Amino acid sequence: MSRDRIAAAEVLITSPGRNHVALKITTADGVVGWGDATLNGRELAVASYLRDHLAPLLIGRDPARIEDTWQYFYRGAYWRRGPVTMTAIGAVDLALWDIKGKTAGLPVYELLGGAVRDRVLSYTHASGWDLPELLDSVDAQRERGFRAVRAQSGVPGLDTVYGVHRGAAGYEPAGRGAAPHEEVWDTAAYLRHAPEVLAGVREHVGPELHLLHDAHHRLTPGEAARLGRALEPVDLFWLEDVTPAENQEVLRRVRAHTTTPLAIGEVFNTVWECQTLITEQLIDFVRTCVTHAGGITHLRRIAALAELWQVQLGPHGPSDVSPVALGASLHVGLSTPNFAIQEYMGYGEAVHEVFPHSWRYADGHLHPGDEPGLGVSVDEDAAAKFPYEPAYLPVARRRDGSMTDW
């Protein structure tokens, strides 16, 4: 029996409200697989990596050899890891799993061992410049059925704060334009305010709603330890990115001072960046994303290591992870025992138009659907209506002008 071959690999950039990069792989038998290659603020780098380096090497390969292709692109580059490389490899991986499912006539989760749960718990974002506005936002998400809500608040004295937007539009951090917006950050003001406002949210919602909060890489380990301890009465589901974790060992200090559950990993791209965090149980949840961490193939390796140390998965799922990647993450979520929760920030109508999908939200949970493959496609005519526009994530400076982490 002659085996199918990859006949084409095309990169598609579209901007329905925000930039997305998609990879379309077509086989000689006409089977199409889609991958997500969106890297917020660096989209063109991944598009070039795919167009100029990986796509030519895909032509003629056996689409069924997903693991071999992963190894070929990971080891064959010589220059390993990093968000651009791993997002490009991730896009290829998603597209090949999509093809494998379509060829088998099965949803990808069936190829990953079948469902271990009926649906995937999800959380979404709530925000407000002050406590009353934040409580309204939390209540609105509870009315939509969410059992888990992330709460982000403004900080007195700061004009901008991560995760909080002005006005009715949804929060989109990447600002259009030729350069990043510059924001001022004041950790001391944040540390004075966060415990009080999050305690106010807990008092309002009662004990059952899962509350999450994202510190977004802005604290030192000492500050993180203080915040974690101060938030223990709030009973958070997790406190996220309390400190930059390139040096994973700094979490030992945080862990020694607080029992608040910790989640880290959305900016990590391979198991090696979170290996110590996992094997020393310095975190409770690993946040690596199915696109930026090398696809389904590598996310399952991270999940397997995490399972040995009773660390759970809570993958990244903001607006800059496209519906293709959200679908892929849900196939992993349905079939992975230590998958705890999926972030689901939601999308604008134009994004749903460009990315028709079988995954569904209902009653605080998500399900990938049972279409063969990933269950997400790209309406290329609709995508063409939204051309790419340069956009960058903000940068943050302290009040003295020195750079800090946004």
Q: Looking at beta carbons only, is 36 or 266 nearer to Mg ion?
A: 266
367 is catalytic: no
Q: Nearest approach, Cβ of 271 to ligand CS2 (angstroms)?
A: 20
74 is catalytic: no
Q: Nearest approach, Cβ of 214 to ligand CS2 (angstroms)?
A: 5
Q: Looking at beta carbons only, is 98 or 223 nearer to Mg ion?
A: 223
Q: Looking at beta carbons only, is 64 or 393 nearer to ligand CS2?
A: 393
Q: Looking at beta carbons only, is 320 or 371 nearer to ligand CS2?
A: 320
Chosen from Mg ion, ligand CS2, none, partner binding at 393 (C-beta under 5 to 8 Å by type): ligand CS2
Q: Nearest approach, Cβ of 214 to Mg ion (angstroms)?
A: 4
User: Hunting for tokens 């001022």 — which residue is that?
Assistant: 184
Please state, as a whole number, how many other Cβ atoms lie within 10 Å of the Cβ of residue 30.
8
Q: Looking at beta carbons only, is 43 or 214 nearer to Mg ion?
A: 214
Q: Looking at beta carbons only, is 31 or 366 nearer to ligand CS2?
A: 366
Marked catalytic residue, from 216, 292, 365, 367? 216
CA-closest candidate to residue 33, choices 106, 101, 112:
101
Q: Nearest approach, Cβ of 188 to ligand CS2 (angstroms)?
A: 22
Cα Rg of the chain, angstroms: 21
Task: Please count the residues of this chain forming the interface with Mg ion, following the rule CB under 5 A.
Answer: 2
Q: Nearest approach, Cβ of 191 to ligand CS2 (angstroms)?
A: 19
Chosen from ligand CS2, Mg ion, none, partner binding at 40 (C-beta under 5 to 8 Å by type): ligand CS2
Binding mask 246-285 for Mg ion (x = CB under 5 A): --------------------x-------------------
d(CA 123, CA 146): 6
Marked catalytic residue, from 109, 123, 162, 347? 162
Q: Nearest approach, Cβ of 288 to ligand CS2 (angstroms)?
A: 12
Kindly indicate which of the ranges 51-59, 177-185, 209-217, 362-370 contains the residues binding Mg ion, using the contact rule CB under 5 A: 209-217
Residues that bind ligand CS2 (CB under 6 A): 40, 173, 214, 216, 266, 316, 318, 320, 343, 393
| Cβ burial 344-356 (10 Å sphere, 16+ → b, else e) | bbbbeebbeebbe
Asked whether position 214 contacts Mg ion by CB under 5 A, the answer is yes
Q: Looking at beta carbons only, is 186 or 214 nearer to Mg ion?
A: 214
- Helix H, strand E, coil C: the string for the chain is CCCCCEEEEEEEEECCCCCEEEEEEEECCCCEEEEECCCCCCHHHHHHHHHHHHHHHHCCCCCCCHHHHHHHHHHHCCCCCCHHHHHHHHHHHHHHHHHHHHHHCCEHHHHCCCCCCCCEEEEEEEEECCHHHHHHHHHHHHHCCCCEEEEEECCCCCCCCCCCCCCCCCCCCCEECCCCCEEEECHHHHHHHHHHHHHHHHHHHCCCCEEEEECCCCCCHHHHHHHHHHCHHHCCCEEECCCCCCCHHHHHHHHHHCCCCEEECCCCCCHHHHHHHHHCCCCCEECCCCCCCCHHHHHHHHHHHHHHCCCEECCCCCCCCCHHHHHHHHHHHHHCCCECCEECCCCCHHHHHHCCECCEEECCEEECCCCCECCECCCHHHHHCCCCCCEECCEEEECCCCEECC
Q: Nearest approach, Cβ of 396 to ligand CS2 (angstroms)?
A: 12
Return the active site residues.
Answer: 162, 216
- For Mg ion, the binding residues (CB under 5 A) are 214, 266
